[in-house]
Structures are given as structure tokens and as C-alpha cells.
Amino acid sequence: MAECAVDGTIKVTWTIENDYPLVVEVTGQTTGGGELAGLPSQIPATSGNGNTSIAATQTAIPVGSASASLQVSATWADGHKASATGRVSLPGECTPPEKPVTPVAPEISQSEECEVNGTVKVPNTEGVRYLWKGEDVSGKTFTGPLDGVIEVEVKDGFVLADSAKTEFPVTVPAAEVCAPPEKPVTPVAPEISQSEECEVNGTVKVPSTEGVRYLWKGEDVSGKTFTGPLDGVIEVEVKDGFVLADSAKTEFPVTVPAAEVCAPPEKPVTPVAPEISQSEECEVDGTVTIPEIEGVSYFLDDERLEPGTYEGPADVTITAAALGGYTLTGTSSWDVVLTEAKECEDEPTTPTATPTGTPSGTPTPRPSYPPLAYTGAGDTGPLSLLAVGLLGLGGGLVLLKRRKGSRA
């Protein structure tokens, strides 16, 4: 049987038969053109009434050949030899049959790297052409970005196999831009200023640092200043493209207590001088009277003097000091001198004999005067106002004076 091959040549298929019940060995073959394939070295023996046959193919016979021939020589197992020749007429023209073909899909590789585009590798398949916008791109590789359809065109002599595709959508997005390398950043602690003034609250000054956001209860407060009272934590959020430096903090506790209430302003007060009364009577001491003034206390030797009247003798300094909420104006220190009372003279009596002889030379001392007594109301006892009189023969009053510095 002769037929057109796909490559445009003629192909002949030969059938060789053995009609004897012995194996026959093929010892040679000759063709009238082309190439022979498929002829075995032996042909099996017959069995029963039928002949044993094998097939061989003679290919690549040029178109235009008038005929094709095959001569086969053989020897049977019993030594008998024979040869046979076959011949067939060939057609003058040959139209090869269409060959089925399945186009292969292009290979699309999406890039995983930034700033590196993906690719499309178009195959090179027998029997078809791959077209991109009408241009044959078979076997080529393209770099994205791409978005479109690669079409398939079948060449002559080929036919699409069942379910074969003729279009292949291609999408290769543009590569992403690489992010810059992360820059290390160290958040700066907020500046906390506690107030030293009453009724003035402290403040928190939040910095504005490149690469971070400062958050107070979830709100971005970078670069802002807040007035207390405050108690909480300012958190740090790192922006894209930045990374925290080693040992950098991400939280800053903030405590600004409420300002203290201011004390009321001090009220000015002017102390009144103690009233000094010198006695004109013998054996009656003079007095000093301490007034009662709102916002003022009087002191002697760091001891408070209750308002009232005190008896001498004395030579001291009395000072005034302001109570809380007051401030003094005017004089606040006074020297107080109360001389010792004069001794009353005795009435004349009957003269006595004048003693004779020399006096002993040692005068009889006069008893010391007690400290100035407090004569006013209250529980305060005598003050340590010293005025001691020493009396001797022919002597007079001696005052031991003691002055105190002013009390602030």
C-alpha cells in the first residue's frame, strides 16, 4: 500500500508471508528506492492452514517515482532457499495529511524581588506560530510589565489537536519599588517640667523625632505640649523605613501632679509698742504692758509673752513677730527699762547710842529683788527680767543689765 507521508514523500507498506511450516531466515533485501524499516531477520513458521505474515515499511520514496519494489531472499530451516520480488505503482502527486499539534502555554515567571520585573518565555512548538500583537514571537523571552494575549497560528500541514488552546492571556505587573534600607532611630524622652509655683501646673513637651510617632492613648501627639495634671505612658510607634536602635525605649511614663493651691496673701499688720509705766511710788515697781494685736506675738528670749502687764525691774529688749498669714510693718523691737522701786524712808525714831569702834568692813547685803512678776490675766508665770539690787553700807542700786537682739 502506497501513501503520502507527512514530510511530502511516499511511503509503502509491504507484507511478507511464509507459507511453509518451518521458520524462514531472511538473508537479504533490495529496494527500488527509499529506505526499508521493520523487516525482521526471521519469519515464523505457518500454523494450520494460514500463512505467517510480517509487515515492513519502505519510506522516503521521492514523489514522481513510477513504482516501488522490494526483493527478499530467505532460507528455511531445512536448507531450502528462495527469493521473491514485489512491485507497486506510485501516484504521480502526493498531498501529505495534516499533523495534529498542541500549542504549549508560554512560561510566565512573576518576580519576587523589588525592582525586578517578571518574564514571559514563549515556546517554539512545531506546527504553530505564537503571535504578540501580530508579530511572531516564537521562542522569544520578554520582560514585564506586560498585559495582553499571545495568539496561536497553525502552520500548513498541521491541525490543532482536540481541546488545544489558541490564546494565552499574559499578565506581568510592574516590579515593586524597593523600599530604602531601614534607618536606625532612637526616640527622645518627653521633657517633663514640674512647676515650682502654686496654682501653676507642670508641663510635658513631646518631641518630634524623625522616624517615630509618639502616642498618648492612641493619638499621635508628636511635637505637642501638654499641661498637667497627667498620669500615664507615652508610647512610641516606628514609621516604615526605620528600625529602633539598640536599647532604644518605646515607652515613657509621664506623671505631672496637680498644682498646689496658693496660700492667701499675707495681711500687713503694725505692732503696737509695749506700754512702759515707771512707778513714782517708793517700793512700787514700774510695769510694762504687752498689747493684744491681731496677727502679732511678742517675745522675750524666744519665749512668747501673753498680752498683759508685767512688773519690773528690768532692762531687756522685747520683739514682735508676725503670725501665719500676716507680715509686719513698722517697728518690731523695743528696749524696756524699768528701774528698781525706791525704798521708802523710815519715820524718825529715838536716837540710839552711836556705836564705837571700827566697822567690820563687811556690809550686810540687801536681799535680791524677785523677777518682774506677771500681773495680767492668764497662767504665765514670772518672766526672766533681771534687775538685781545689791545694797551695802553707804551704797546704792546696782542694775545688772541684759539686752536681747531683735527677733525676726
Is 80 exceeded by the pLDDT of residue 35?
yes
**pLDDT tens across 259-275, in order?**
999 888 889 999 999 99
Residue type, 246: D
Give the per-residue pLDDT at 8: 75
Res 239 pLDDT > 90: yes
pLDDT for the residue 264:
85
Buried b (16+ CB within 10 A) or exposed e, 87-106: ebebeeebebeeeebebbeb
Write down the mean pLDDT value for the chain. 83
Edge-first strand listing for the sheet containing 146-154: 135-136, 128-132, 146-154, 167-172
Which ranges of 100-197 would DSSP assign to H, the alpha helix?
none
Grid coordinates in use for 38?
521493520
161-174 residue pLDDT tens: 999 999 999 999 99
Altogether, the residues listed in the chain come to a count of: 408
What's the pLDDT at 373? 52
Q: How far apart are CA 31 and CA 34, in angstroms?
A: 7
The span from the first CA to the last CA of the chain, in angstroms, equals 144
Percent residues over pLDDT 70 in the chain = 85
- Residues 43-67: what's their mean pLDDT? 85
Question: Stretch 239-252: mean pLDDT, rounded?
Answer: 93
Given a cut of 70, is residue 369 above it in pLDDT? no
Inform me whether the pLDDT recorded for 371 exceeds 80.
no
**In which band, very low, low, confident or very high, does the pLDDT at 10 lie, cut at 50, 70 and 90?**
confident
pLDDT at 130: 97
DSSP code, position 385:
-
What is the b/e burial string over 370-406, where b = at least 16 CB atoms within 10 angstroms of the residue's CB?
A: ebbebeeeeeeeebebbbbbebeeeeebebeeeeeee
pLDDT on residue 392: 32
User: What are the pLDDT digits (tens) for 377-387?
Assistant: 443 334 434 33
pLDDT in tens, 102-149: 999 999 999 999 999 999 999 999 999 999 999 999 999 999 999 999
Of 4-13, 225-234, 360-369, least confident by mean pLDDT is: 360-369
Residues 312-359: tens digit of each pLDDT:
898 999 999 999 889 999 999 999 999 888 888 876 655 555 555 444
Residue 347: predicted pLDDT: 64
Q: What pLDDT does 380 receive?
A: 37
What number is the average pLDDT over the span 238-261? 93
- 376 has a pLDDT exceeding 80: no
Measured CA angle at 14 (ends 10, 18), to 5 deg: 170
Query: Which residue carries 522490494 as its cell?
Result: 70
Whole-prediction pTM value?
0.35
Give the angle 271-275-281 at the CA atoms, nearest 5°. Answer: 175
- List CB contacts of 306: < 8 A, sequence separation 6 or more: 290, 374, 376, 378, 380
C-alpha to C-alpha distance for 190 and 256, rounded to whole angstroms: 12
Domains of the chain are 2-89 (2.60.40), 99-172 (no CATH), 183-256 (no CATH), 265-343+365-408 (no CATH)
Residue 4's nearest CA partner among 85, 88, 98 is: 98
Neighbours of 207 (CB within 10 A): 16
pLDDT, position 401: 28
**pLDDT for residue 2 is more than 80:** no
Q: Taking residues 215-244, report their average pLDDT.
A: 95
H or E element in which residue 55 lies: strand 52-61
What amino acid occupies position 364?
T
Region 39-60 average pLDDT = 87
Which grid coordinates belong to 297?
506675738
